[in-house]
Amino acid sequence: MTDKPWSTPPGPKGAESGPFYKGGDPGGDYGGPQKGADPDLGYKTSGTDLGGTLGSTTVITETTRTSWLERMKRAITGVAVGFALVAGSAALLWWNEGRAVQTARSLAEGASAVVSVDPARADRANDGKLVHFTGGVTTTGPVADEELGISADGVVLRRNVEMYQWREVSESRTRERVGGGTETVTTYRYELAWSDRVIDSNRFREPQGHANPPSMRYGDRHFAAPGVQVGAFALPDALVRDMPGAARMALSADQVAGIGARAQRTAQQREGMAYLSRNPDRPMVGDLRIAYDLVPRQTVSVIGQQQGGTVAPYQSRAGDRLLMLRAGPMTADAMFQKAEEENRILTWILRGVGVLLMFVGFKMIMAPIAMLGAVLPILSQLAQLGTSIIAFVLTAVLAPLVIAIAWLAVRPVVAAVVLAVGAVLAVGGMRMLRSRAKTQARTIASDVVNAQLRR
């Protein structure tokens, strides 16, 4: 196999159409435009700009116009999506509160049932019980990536692979037009960068001249050492795979040369990584770089159900399966407290997601109303503001109601507090709506009077 990296042939130097290069060379020199290239990106207010190179990027701009009728059609179509989002967010909030209660109960049950044991001996009398132990991790051999010939003295080896390829970055600016239409100017930048996933260049606005390889020869993988144990207890793959404490492992020159030999590609060492590239300082599309993270042998604390000489998930009566591993020596109480804290954090994250989705859903439902005021840009601002505040008020009423109902049977006090917070937010939103509406109305009246005086 020859050392021929996948690459895209360059467009004609100085071309101002086709692949959208202006003195650039995507197959070799990424140092910037050629001598004499116009540094101006050639921004246009209509049509498509087919030129421009900025540093190692290529740029095009495109202007699209949308009529008021077209926007209204989209808004009406989006109403169904809005209702689906509101219903889905309510279901998410309901499920999340139930999940939080179940996990809290499971952790409380586990904290009262756990037994701390000596990991040096797996006492059969504890089979079926929830046990806790702390000890040093041992293995029966090194951890290895046999595909690329890399081995190390540790527990888990994680291979990280990136490919040099084109990526599309778009930025849009939209302005309202008299009559309710909009004008959007979108700038597409095509730049070369390292990415740990294959970027599908067929989806680019301008794929010509920015083609990426369809796949990566090597991908991210993780490898576990054989016979991972803590004392007499073998650790299951679920705990080994996610063991914390990974740190970047610097590859030696010999290891990089071995990777190159197996890949049948030129391999060079840079910053402890292996570059499958003829020139890592000026890579080409399709070049790879490979790095490794190593989880060392360490002291860990484990909670799980003892099953002979191993541990497995413990099925709680509340519903959750308990199996935990933490880095360093930790008591059982400290591990459960940490799990409870993580449960609270996850609960608030999912609440935030649910509330945001609900707000977006209400905004989409009221989008046709906002479009009625879009004929004049100044009225559009008022309509958008009004529908946003109404969506906020509706969300402040419905979201706390769903959460409160979920908690009503379990903790009535929590339900009452949630409802009270929702009521305060709703009242505040209504007052904000009235205040903003009055302010905006005065602004519109002032603008109209000033316009008449100028005439």
DSSP character string of 423-451:
HHHHHHHHHHHHHHHHHHHHHHHHHHHHH
In Å, the largest CA–CA distance within the chain is: 96
Using alpha carbons, select from 251, 249, 253, 229 the residue that is nearest to residue 239: 229
Q: What pTM value is reported for the model?
A: 0.74
Give residue 33's pLDDT: 31
Q: Rounded to the nearest 10 degrees, how much is the dihedral formed by the CA atoms of 320, 325, 330, 332?
A: 20
Tally of residues, the chain:
455
Q: What share of the chain is helix, strand, coil (3-state, %, to 5)?
A: 40, 25, 35
pLDDT tens digit string along 275-322?
999 999 999 999 999 999 999 999 999 999 999 999 999 999 999 999
Model confidence at 326: pLDDT above 50: yes
Give the residue extent of every domain in the chain: 68-101+343-454, 112-162+217-330
Using alpha carbons, select from 410, 173, 135 the residue that is nearest to residue 299: 135
Considering only 110-114, 251-255, 287-291, 375-379, which range has the smallest mean pLDDT? Answer: 375-379
